[in-house]
Structure 1
């Protein structure tokens, strides 16, 4: 999936009024994913994305991911976006939804395995669409 298509899909999925807001949400979410998952897994994920997205996942190679709960995941995104945590949660779910379509199922499963059960709500809409 090309960068413009990724952003457009996030913009539509997250009901963003402006493309720039969708881009900010994508950047914030990808950077927070990078903080949460194993660094080498983030690099593998980045390899399947356009460079303008991939660059937000690099920089923690060889490091373990930080262990924080889903509430902190949303809080970190909200701080990066400059929005509240509830809005950040909606944005993160939109990004995850598009990300799941942008990479291979195996790679997305590898990413998902880096998140504990308390993140199920982040991935819940994907489970509903797979049925």
Structure 2
């Protein structure tokens, strides 16, 4: 998928008043995801991303955030918004990401995240938490 198509996909998923923030939402969400994922998780997704997205995604130097709340706080801080305002934007970016990469790569990448990420990453309807044990 090309960057402009990915960005348009995100815009289409946002409310009219949020669409002008799509590019910032993509950058902030992917940067936070790059920090939240393990090195292996980033390696699963990065090859499937356009170079413009890879730049944001690979920005993470740390390995793993403890909670989804910290993930949202990082996105909110980057965007200068509160966490409630960024949740639908994060969901839009993640929905576009799910459409842009293979299901297997996404499943592998997200498998190490704690279960509380499911809601904010839009994974609730896809079964149990990837990192959770039955």
Bin the TM-score by the shorter chain.
0.7 to 0.9
Equivalence for 1:9: 9
Q: 77, 80, 83: which one pairs with 1:79?
A: 77
Tell me by how many angstroms 1:16 deviates. 4.7
Matched residue, 1:39? 39
Quote the RMSD (CA, aligned, Å).
2.1
Q: Structure 2 regions of 5+ residues with no counterpart?
A: 127-134
Distance across 2 between alignment mates of 1:40 and 1:125: 20
* Equivalences for residues 93-112 of structure 1 within 5 A: 93-112=91-110
| Matched-pair contact (CA < 8 Å) for 1:75–1:88 | no
Deviation at 1:67, TM superposition (A): 3.0
**Out of 115, 118, 126, which is 1:117 matched to?**
115
Distance 1:77 1:59, change over 3 A: closer
- Structure 2 CA distance, aligned partners of 1:50 and 1:100? 14
- Taking the aligned partners of 1:26 and 1:18, their CA distance within structure 2 comes to 12
Aligned length: 126
1:26 aligns with 2:21: no
Distance 1:59 1:24 in 2: 14
**TM-score (normalizing by structure 1):** 0.84
Match of 2:51 in 1: 51
Q: 1:100-124 CA deviation, whole Å, 9 max, x = no partner?
A: 0100111110122021111121244
Question: What residue number does 2:130 align with?
Answer: none
Structure 1 gap ranges (5+): none
